[in-house]
């Protein structure tokens, strides 16, 4: 399974390289996009909606759900998001030979505007069309084949003043990232952003929108941090909150070895959809206190049951596979949450409140893709390329069986 995941990472990078032959020319003519901090203006998902043109906040769980903000900083509904990101998490079950609409939006007030995202099963391609008046922009990227029901995270980012855009598709079943760059993106009016969030952007017949988020700035993709603020990491000087770690600090792996922090990766994401946080309640799985984490965070399980059932003294599972246990529940918060991950020189298992959690894994990745991740602030040559721990990653069914056997 180790080789399988590495092959997937390489395939994602290769797809990005060959999907847009003009990518090299684009970099030469316009500024390469760099992911960075963003200001989310709207989030929709799980029957909830938050929108604020000035930016959403999580002030003690209270948020500003309306479009009201101080006149001095309010761009107004006719203002433009010159640099921004639209993120859609969609669940698709396409039929062979039939294009599957992922999202559709249209408006005619003043002038024609619209956005359509479509998955084409014949050539496994995601296409994004943006229309404003007589202007049409199309971006497309090939993805890993979708077989049966599948979840995609589609991130469409643009910097209109710099004439650069990037389309990223994360195939969450295959764990691959597919990316292409495009030229001359169109800015998004705030009025259209609000209409899309308030329900005028709809899913197709063969799909479901799990989450829709719109932000100012270029949102990072892939390499998802998974530990919420306040998670305690074991260090030689005792437990420390993950968000307080900086480059050069020392942390302990579960084997007792000391490792130096290369970088602390953090990003703020919508707290709905597939990134909605979950809580594991102590003493489940040996926790010393309750832990809030992302469903994507990988955990390492050890013991005789793992060796007996799967032939290894340690196995890896995703936190999302624990949802059906009573000690695991969805964490209630506002529209946003900040996750963190510790980057080390090697891929390790960290001790987090008595639980084994993996450090940030970085596989082979071309520099242009690396610049669109949470590691965009690091020089590409300084980013370590990891070898996976020799630990198989279990499927949802396997993970539930093992956890039931160990903690029954």
SS3 labels along 5-20: HHHHHHHHHHHHHHHC
Of the candidate ranges 235-249, 297-311, 325-339, 380-394, the one whose mean pLDDT is the lowest: 297-311
> What does the pLDDT average to over 373-393?
87
Give the model's pLDDT for residue 111: 84
Length of the chain: 408
> What does the pLDDT average to over 106-110?
87
Domain 227-407 part of CATH 3.40.50.10490: no
> What does the pLDDT average to over 24-37?
59
How many angstroms separate the CA atoms of 367 and 379, rounded? 9
Kindly tell me if the per-residue pLDDT of 4 is higher than 50.
no
- Residue that wins the pLDDT comparison between 19 and 100: 100
Give the model's pLDDT for residue 3: 35
Q: Exposed/middle/buried for 384, CB within 10 Å: 0-12, 13-18, 19+?
A: middle
How many angstroms separate the CA atoms of 78 and 112, rounded? 14
Provide the percentage of residues in the chain whose pLDDT is more than 70. Answer: 86
Give the model's pLDDT for residue 175: 87
Of the candidate ranges 80-89, 93-102, 142-151, 395-404, the one whose mean pLDDT is the lowest: 395-404
Within 8 A by CB and 6+ apart from 58, the residues are: 333, 334, 335, 336, 337
Kindly tell me if the per-residue pLDDT of 209 is higher than 60.
yes
Q: Exposed/middle/buried for 208, CB within 10 Å: 0-12, 13-18, 19+?
A: middle
Give the model's pLDDT for residue 235: 98
pLDDT tens-place string over residues 160-174? 999 999 999 999 988
**pTM listed for this prediction:** 0.87
Query: Strand pairing partners for 10?
Result: none
**Pairing relationship of beta strands 150-159 and 135-142 according to DSSP bridges:** unpaired
Buried-state track 159-185, b at ≥16 Cβ within 10 A, e below 16: bbeeebbbbbbbbeebbbbbbbbbeeb
Q: Which fold has domain 39-216?
A: Jelly Rolls (2.60.120)
Give span(s): CATH 2.60.120.200, the chain: 39-216
pLDDT tens-place string over residues 290-336? 999 999 999 988 776 666 566 667 788 899 988 888 889 999 899 99
Within 8 A by CB and 6+ apart from 191, the residues are: 77, 78, 107, 109
Banded pLDDT at 21 (limits 50, 70, 90): very low
- Residue that wins the pLDDT comparison between 382 and 11: 382
Banded pLDDT at 266 (limits 50, 70, 90): very high
- Residue that wins the pLDDT comparison between 203 and 217: 217
- Cβ count within 10 A of residue 152: 24
How many angstroms separate the CA atoms of 341 and 318, rounded? 15
- Residue that wins the pLDDT comparison between 398 and 209: 209
Average pLDDT, the chain: 85
Kindly tell me if the per-residue pLDDT of 247 is higher than 90.
yes
Provide the percentage of residues in the chain whose pLDDT is more than 90. Answer: 63
Give the model's pLDDT for residue 304: 66
Banded pLDDT at 64 (limits 50, 70, 90): very low
Hey, what's the torsion of the CAs at 226, 149, 272, 370, to 10 degrees? Answer: 40
User: Which own/partner pairs from 104-113 qualify as long-range (CB within 8 Å, at least 24 positions apart)?
Assistant: 104/201, 104/202, 104/203, 104/204, 105/192, 105/195, 105/196, 105/200, 105/201, 105/202, 106/200, 107/191, 107/192, 107/195, 107/200, 109/191, 113/189, 113/192
Angle at 194 between CA 50 and CA 74, to 5 degrees: 85
Give span(s): CATH 2.170.16.10, the chain: 227-407
**Pairing relationship of beta strands 263-270 and 336-343 according to DSSP bridges:** antiparallel
Give the model's pLDDT for residue 130: 97
Q: Exposed/middle/buried for 72, CB within 10 Å: 0-12, 13-18, 19+?
A: exposed
One-character DSSP codes across 192-206: HHHHIIIIISB--TT
CA contacts within 13 A on the Cβ side of 360: 27
């Amino acid at each position: 399974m180790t080789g399988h995941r590495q092959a997937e990472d390489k395939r994602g990078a290769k797809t990005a390289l060959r999907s847009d032959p003009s990518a090299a020319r684009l970099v030469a003519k316009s500024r390469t996009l760099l992911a960075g901090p963003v200001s989310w203006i709207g989030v929709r998902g799980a029957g909830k909606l938050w929108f604020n043109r000035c930016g959403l906040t999580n002030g003690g769980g209270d948020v500003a759900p309306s479009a009201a903000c101080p006149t001095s900083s309010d761009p107004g509904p006719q203002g433009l998001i010159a640099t921004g990101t639209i993120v859609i998490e969609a669940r698709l079950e396409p039929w062979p030979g039939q294009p599957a609409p992922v999202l559709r939006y249209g408006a005619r007030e003043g002038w024609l505007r619209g956005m359509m995202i479509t998955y084409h099963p014949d050539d496994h391609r995601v296409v994004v069309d943006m229309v404003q008046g007589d202007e049409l922009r199309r971006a497309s990227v090939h993805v890993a084949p979708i077989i049966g029901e599948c979840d995609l995270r589609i991130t469409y980012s643009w910097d209109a003043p710099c004439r650069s855009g990037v389309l990223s598709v994360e195939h969450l079943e295959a764990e691959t990232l597919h990316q292409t760059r495009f030229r001359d993106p169109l800015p998004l009016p705030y009025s259209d952003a609000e209409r899309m969030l308030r329900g005028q952007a709809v899913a197709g017949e063969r799909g479901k929108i799990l989450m829709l988020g719109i932000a100012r700035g270029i949102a990072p993709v892939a390499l998802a941090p998974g530990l919420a603020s306040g998670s305690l990491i074991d260090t030689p000087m005792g437990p420390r909150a993950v968000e307080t770690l900086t480059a050069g600090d020392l942390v302990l792996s579960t084997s007792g070895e000391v490792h130096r922090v290369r970088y602390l990766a953090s990003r703020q994401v919508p707290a709905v959809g597939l990134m909605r946080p979950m809580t594991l309640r102590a003493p489940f799985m040996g926790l010393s206190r309750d832990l809030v984490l992302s469903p994507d965070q990988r955990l390492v399980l050890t013991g005789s049951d793992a060796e007996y059932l799967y032939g290894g003294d340690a196995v890896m599972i995703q936190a999302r596979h624990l949802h059906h246990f009573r000690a695991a529940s969805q964490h209630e918060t506002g529209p946003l949450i900040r996750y963190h991950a510790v980057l080390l020189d090697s891929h390790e298992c960290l001790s987090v409140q008595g639980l084994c959690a993996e450090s940030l894994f970085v596989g082979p990745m071309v520099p242009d893709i690396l610049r669109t991740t949470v590691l965009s602030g690091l020089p590409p040559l300084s980013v370590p390329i990891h070898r996976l721990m020799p630990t198989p990653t279990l499927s949802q069914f396997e993970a539930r069986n093992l956890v039931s056997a160990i903690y029954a």
